[in-house]
Amino acid sequence: MPHSAAALSIEGLVKDFGPVSSLDGRMVRVLDGVRLSAQPGQVTALLGANGAGKTTTLECAQGLQRPDAGKVLLLGENPYRASPGLRARVGVMLQEGGLPPSVKPMALLKHVASLYTAPLDINALAERLGIADFGAASIRGLSGGQKQRLALACALVGQPEVLFLDEPSAGLDPQSRTIVFELIQELRAAGLAIILTTHLLDDAQKLADYVYIIEAGRTVAEGTVAELTAIEGADDLRELRFDTVPGLTLPPEQMAHLSCAEPEPGRYVLSGHIVPEDISQLAQWWSASGVMPTAISMAPRSLEEVFLEISGRSIR
Amino acid sequence: MSTATPLAPRVLRQGRYEAAAMLRNGEQLVLAIVLPLLALAGLVLTPLLDGYSVSRIDIAAPGVLALCTMSTAFTGQGIATGFDRRYGVLRFLSTTPLGKSGLILGKACAVVVVLAVQLVVIGGAALLMGWRPEVAGLAPAILLLALGSAAFTALGLLVAGTLRPEATLAVTNLVWILLAAAGGIILPASQLPVAAEPIVRLLPSAALGDGLRSALVEGQFDLLSCVLLLLWAAAASLAAVRWFKWS
């Protein structure tokens, strides 16, 4: 999705690591031509399995790593040579947080805020992210979710135009997750370009306007969630799930064009080009088996299925 | 939209923040204040330095101030930086307006602040114990302390940026003990075995220790010590720029 006003644009990004002693001193190519573009007012998600190159891509975009080849432009500038002015316009939340354990959360937030000319009100921000509740304890004693919220506050306090979030929902309890997701949606509405990595397809499906699937250091697919889940005009590509007694025999021959699985005992998933006739076949199958489902749902196929199809392996 | 706080206040704020973190840390305080005070008392109460000056305290105090510089700039700062690197603090702060250069300048400022506190406390204690430094040597002493801080800060960063934090902890402490005992910092290099003396004289510890002694005991400006410290600072800075790993 090339765009002249892209907040971030990456073309042909290559990054090698090494030399690796266990590989006889050879270099390892971690990124091999990543392409990506992120627009203001959108959430752009980088999706990929562990080790696919998501974090390295972000680090090149944040100026933490120097690319070996390719072009990276962050707000029109080279991030590796970023001026303090450029860095003031960009907020970064690292995967492990980057928080000093012996410091108190509010003291850290206050210090980070002092590096900007027009920071957010730290008390309001702390209140919003629930940091005020644990602001006086040392960071060492915080839970994973509390550290994530603090790292997010540190990334936001300078009122950035571009926000990088590396695995933002890692370690979050459901309540924190809701707080963080709502905030991300608000920031998008306020016009920020938000670039996040995740290996949780559910997160990408909920948050992302545009998704890049990274596999073995390459961009292998991109599009909106709707585009990715409905490629090649396959509008009737769906998933039908139902719950009933475990161990049903396979569906009748008339439904052989659909794939059928029982991922958990008693939970069934039919997927493929589901047409109205299939529903009536399904009812006959249940009737012949003498069962009544306790739950039925149908949805377009999920991003997870798209990912499996593209990468040939599970994302987790 | 926010912009970056200008360079000077940005670096000074980082320096204040890091200095406060160093002074809050119990282990760092032991290294920065308690051990030098013990060294000062030990040197005054034992005949170790007899024969170098009319009073024990006059010859002991400059060496202990050199030891303070090594404690703060090399060991204390090195360990703090090593763990900051482990926890990703260096990476996070380098994405803020501070940047990598601001972060390093901030650390240097913190070293200066903590060293100033040490000078007041240790120097004050020495004055109470009867130390009478040569007034003519005060300006050269300040120059030497600045060059020594630069050399030891760069060496501390070099260790912290290339080794794991546990190894940094071990190496910086071990080097501190070795140099304190036989690096010409507390005991003049001339007091060491003849075979070791020429090598020890080239170490930054001996350059700082001997330089401070000639300034504060004899009121002389030791140009060779200044040049040696400058060379150590330049070499260690170049090596740190080349090999320092931020993650």
Query: Where does chain B have alpha helices with state H?
Result: 7-24, 26-29, 35-45, 56-69, 77-86, 89-94, 99-128, 138-162, 165-182, 197-201, 204-218, 223-243
Is it the case that residue A314 has pLDDT exceeding 60? no
Amino acid code (one letter) for B35? L
Is it the case that residue A257 has pLDDT exceeding 60? yes
What is the mean predicted confidence (pLDDT) over A85-112? Answer: 93
CA distance linking residue A150 with residue A129, whole number of Å = 8
Decide if A96 contacts A168 (C-beta within 8 A): no
The structural domains of chain A, with segments of one domain joined by +, span 8-229, 237-300
Determine, for residues A98 and B7 on separate chains, whether the beta-carbon distance falls below 8 Å. Answer: no
- Where does the pLDDT of residue A273 fall: very low under 50, low under 70, confident under 90, or very high at 90 and above? confident
Give the nearest partner residue to B96 out of A64, A96, A112, using CB atoms: A112
What pTM was estimated for this model as a whole? 0.83
Decide if B240 contacts B104 (C-beta within 8 A): no
Q: Which residues of B77-90 are buried (b: 16+ CB within 10 A; e: fewer)?
A: bbbbbbbbbbbbbb
Strand A218-223 versus strand A69-74 pairing type? unpaired
Determine, for residues B97 and A97 on separate chains, whether the beta-carbon distance falls below 8 Å. Answer: no
Is it the case that residue A36 has pLDDT exceeding 90? yes
Is it the case that residue B187 has pLDDT exceeding 60? yes
Least confident stretch, A182-191, A304-313, B167-176: A304-313
**What percent of chain B lies above the pLDDT cut of 70?**
99
Which CATH architecture is the domain A237-300 placed in? 2-Layer Sandwich (3.30)
| Residues contacting residue A83 through CB under 8 Å, at least 6 positions apart | A77
Mutate to test the interface with A, among B79, B83, B87, B95 (most CBs of A within 10 A): B95
- Here the tokens at position B17 are 């923040």
Give the nearest partner residue to A88 out of B84, B93, B97, using CB atoms: B97
Determine, for residues B98 and A160 on separate chains, whether the beta-carbon distance falls below 8 Å. Answer: no
CA distances from residue A273 to A252, A258, A298 in whole angstroms, order as listed? 16, 7, 12
- Where does the pLDDT of residue A53 fall: very low under 50, low under 70, confident under 90, or very high at 90 and above? very high
Q: What is the dihedral of CA B117, B122, B126, B132, to 10 degrees?
A: -50
Is it the case that residue A108 has pLDDT exceeding 60? yes
- Where does the pLDDT of residue A3 fall: very low under 50, low under 70, confident under 90, or very high at 90 and above? very low
Determine, for residues B4 and A116 on separate chains, whether the beta-carbon distance falls below 8 Å. Answer: yes
pLDDT given at position B61: 95
Q: Cα angle vertex A95, ends A89, A97, to 5°?
A: 75
Mutate to test the interface with B, among A99, A111, A120, A121 (most CBs of B within 10 A): A111
Chain A residues close to B91, C-beta within 8 Å:
64, 94, 98
ipTM: 0.87
pLDDT given at position A316: 44
Grouping H, G, I as helix, E, B as strand and the rest as coil, residue A299 is strand
The C-alpha of A143 sits at a distance from chain B's nearest C-alpha, in angstroms, of 15
Segment B13-70, tens digit of pLDDT: 999 999 998 888 888 888 899 999 999 999 999 888 887 767 899 999 999 999 999 9
Could you say which DSSP state residue A302 is in?
P
The C-alpha of A111 sits at a distance from chain B's nearest C-alpha, in angstroms, of 7
Segment A147-159, tens digit of pLDDT: 999 999 999 999 9
Strand A193-198 versus strand A162-166 pairing type? parallel
The alpha-carbon radius of gyration of chain A (Å, integer) is 23
pLDDT given at position A230: 67
Is it the case that residue A213 has pLDDT exceeding 80? yes
Mutate to test the interface with A, among B1, B3, B10, B92 (most CBs of A within 10 A): B92
What is the mean predicted confidence (pLDDT) over A79-98? Answer: 92
Is it the case that residue A2 has pLDDT exceeding 80? no
Task: Return mean pLDDT, chain B.
Answer: 92
- CATH class of domain segment(s) A8-229: alpha beta
